[in-house]
């Protein structure tokens, strides 16, 4: 079975290929020569994942999936959420986003947060969604240099290290994206 993954992120591709263990052939956007700017204009993580998978399905008429992720901080009413990539502005860096979160959280006692990934799979014209969540807390300053995005300020529950202090192997065992990806893999393997 061939399945298009609406991404060019090599890290995400490697992760899903490892989990699926060659049982499904995954094609990236580059593999199908798709260089479109796929719109992500919805106001929810679920909506954005669906928008991206439907865009590819409508254009290529092939089974495909897309993912969308956000960091939801309770004291900020779920922000940055669906706006996680561009929280500090359109051209912002990971560093800018982290600085904005730390500044908004300055003096805030409630530090609880969660990462959420939603995968939208379009299979034979029907949509299926798979969600992965990991709860944790936002610390007061950056720690660690691994990973990306908000990793240096997020400590998962039952750990005393940030995602950026864990090895990628350790993070990939417990992360939001790994949990959603495993659910997708189980679905595909049981077809």
Interaction site with ligand IMP (CB under 6 A)? 68-70, 84-85, 94, 97, 147-151, 163, 175, 177
Given the complex with ligand IMP, which of 45 and 122 has the nearer CB atom? 45
> Mind giving me the DSSP string for 51-110?
HHHHHHHHHH-S-EEEEEEEEEEGGGTT-BGGGGGGTT-TT--HHHHHHHHHHHTTT-S-
Given the complex with ligand IMP, which of 63 and 114 has the nearer CB atom? 114
> Mind giving me the DSSP string for 147-167?
SSTTGGGEEETT-SS-GGGS-
The nearest distance, CB 124 to ligand IMP, in angstroms, is 25
Given the complex with ligand IMP, which of 64 and 147 has the nearer CB atom? 147
The nearest distance, CB 1 to ligand IMP, in angstroms, is 24
Number of helices and strands in the chain (H, E): 5, 6
The nearest distance, CB 191 to ligand IMP, in angstroms, is 25
Given the complex with ligand IMP, which of 65 and 163 has the nearer CB atom? 163
Cα dist from 149 to 49, 108, 176, whole Å? 19, 21, 14
> Closest by alpha carbon to 166, among 187, 145, 184, 142?
145
The nearest distance, CB 179 to ligand IMP, in angstroms, is 11
Judge whether 31 counts as a catalytic residue: no
Closest residue (Cβ) to ligand IMP? 149
Of residues 67, 68, 74, 160, which has the active-site annotation? 68
Tell me if 33 sits within 8 A of 116, measured CB to CB: no
Residues known to be catalytic: 68
């Amino acid at each position: 079975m061939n399945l298009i993954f609406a991404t060019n992120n090599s890290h995400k591709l490697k992760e899903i290929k490892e989990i699926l263990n060659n049982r499904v052939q995954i094609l990236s956007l580059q593999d199908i020569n798709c260089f479109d700017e796929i719109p992500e204009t919805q106001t929810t993580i679920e909506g954005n994942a669906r928008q991206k998978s439907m865009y590819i399905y409508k254009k290529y008429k092939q089974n495909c999936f897309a993912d969308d992720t956000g960091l939801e901080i309770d004291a900020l009413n779920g922000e940055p959420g669906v706006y996680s990539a561009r929280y500090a502005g359109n051209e912002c860096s990971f560093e800018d986003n982290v600085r904005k979160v730390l500044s908004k959280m300055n003096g805030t006692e409630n530090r609880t947060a969660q990462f959420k990934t939603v995968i939208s799979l379009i299979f034979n014209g029907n949509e299926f969604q798979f969600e992965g969540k990991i709860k944790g807390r936002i610390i007061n300053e950056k720690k660690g240099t691994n990973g990306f995005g908000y990793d240096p300020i997020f400590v998962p529950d039952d750990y005393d290290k940030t995602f950026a202090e864990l090895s990628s192997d350790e993070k990939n065992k417990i992360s939001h994206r790994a949990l959603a990806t495993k659910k997708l893999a189980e679905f595909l393997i049981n077809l």
